[in-house]
Structures are given as C-alpha cells and as structure tokens.
A = this chain, B = another copy of it.
Amino acid sequence: MEWQVIDEKIKRWMFEAREMILASFNTKLDINTKSNRNDLVTNMDKKIEKFYIDHIHESFSNAKIMGEESEKDALQDADGLFFVIDPIDGTMNFVKQQDNFASMIAIYQNHRPILGYILDVRNNELYWGGKSIGVYRNFERLDAPQDLTLREGLLGAGLPMILNDEYHFQEIARETSGVRMYGSAGIEFINVLTGKTLGYVSRLHAWDYAAGKILAEELGLVVQAIDGTDIDVLSSKVVLVSTKSANEKINEIIKA
C-alpha cells in the first residue's frame, strides 16, 4: 500500500481527534489512576483511542494495533500494517494544564517502521514523516537539528532519572546547559526534533516513543535503550533520544 493513502487518512483522523479533545475542555473529565496515583487515564484517552481504532479497523481490516489503553497486539505477529497509538500523551498535563500534551500514532508495515505522527494538540502542530519521506511540521519540512555536544544544549528528562540518579543522570545533567521537564514524551520528542533540546531521557512504554523514534531517526538523531538492548515496541525501558555527539558522551559517562 502506498504510504500516501495511509497518511491522508491518519491526518484527517488526528485533526478530528483534536477537535474532540479541545471540545472536552468545556466538560467535566472522568479521571482514574492506573499503575500509581500520578498515572492517569481519562474518558477522553479512551474515547480518542477507540476513535482511532474504529477508523483503523474500518479502513485497514487486517491491521494489528497496540493502543495504550486497550488492544495490545504484538509487532512480530503483524505481517501487514501495525499501528501503535497513544491517544493522549501527557495525560497529567492534559488534566492539569490543558496544554503541553500530544496525540501520537506510529505505523509499521511488514515489521518495519514507515510513518510517525506527533500532534501538539494545543498548538495545532503536527510533526509527521517517515523513512525516506523526511520530517515535517504541518507543511514545512524540518532540517536535521545541529549535532550539539552534551555541554552545548538542554536535556529533557523524566523526573525519576534525576531524583533517583538513574544511570548517572545527575552527573550527566550537570554536564549539559540545563535540564528541562515538560511532562509529555511527545512534546519532549518535538523539542529534540526541532533542536530546542539536544536530547530527552525517560522510562517509556512503546506508545510513548514509537512515533518519536521514527521521526528522530529520519533526522539523524540516535534513539537507544539505555541498557543497551534493542528498542522494540513491546517493552517499557529507559529510552534516550539525542544528537549523535551527546549520545556518545552520555554513554561514556554511563559506562565510566
């Protein structure tokens, strides 16, 4: 299947999802916790995920799907199209800020990544692209970010990385120009794609990084699991996306 056929549908669905999310700001959310009191899911996460899944089943009847809130097909069982969905990434920000959250979809064909989408909902900016397609913000093609060294840029980080000094990230933080925490993997990936930060590190689930990884690698950034294992869309692990130079230095410090 031509990627343009899929792309046209995904963009339509995501902008429709955006309208539904914005409309929800005027309604009372139904909020529940998952793994801990700060791991939230709302009726809107579930509604948007179902919206995407229904459309996918309708348009691509044999597609397999991994969604944050529901279906959990596995990439290796998906011979045709495989969709990884994070309906609202940064649910805490969605609830507390009504800002700084994203909606994300990653698409694989025959086990290979082909398309990634990160929608900055509030700012109405869709970051999308894929292998040999390039990466775009809405209609504007993005250049590869500068290959900043660790000292030259800002690092996005999940709080536990710093709080618990996981993988020496306290020392790594001190080497940077500063640390930023935006509370949404999607927003953090966008910042790395656009060069606002040189990297981002956090413990992530597949749906948190699948789309970002596709876009980041197309722009020459490096995405790795900190423990050295291959990244796959099945497990949660500490994931680092960064410039090549920062990646080398961070690995030096981790292994020192």
Q: A96: which of B92, B93, B153, B163 is its contact (CB, 8 Å)?
A: B153
Chain A stretch 192-229: residues in CB contact (< 8 A) with chain B: 196-197
Question: A96-B153, A196-B99 known; A159 and B182 CB under 8 Å?
Answer: no
B177 touches A179 (CB 8 A): no
Which DSSP category, helix, strand, loop or mixed, fits chain A's interface?
A: mixed
Of all A-B residue pairs in the complex, the 8 with the closest CB atoms, nearest first, are A97-B196, A181-B181, A159-B179, A180-B181, A38-B177, A96-B154, A92-B178, A180-B183
Cα-based distance from A180 to B180 in the complex (angstroms)? 7
Q: Which residues of A contact B (CB under 8 A)?
A: 37-38, 92-93, 96-97, 99, 151, 153-154, 159, 162-163, 170, 173-174, 177-183, 191, 196-197
Whether the Cβ atoms of B196 and A154 lie closer than 8 Å is: no
Q: Which residues of B contact A162 (CB under 8 A)?
A: 159, 162-163
Inside 8 A of A173's CB, which chain B residues have their CB? 159, 163
Most buried by B among A97, A153, A173, A181: A181
**Smallest CB separation, A190 vs chain B (Å):** 11
Q: List 20 A-B contacts (CB under 8 A).
A: A38-B177, A38-B178, A92-B177, A92-B178, A96-B154, A96-B177, A96-B196, A96-B197, A97-B154, A97-B191, A97-B197, A99-B196, A159-B173, A162-B162, A162-B163, A163-B173, A180-B182, A180-B183, A181-B181, A182-B182
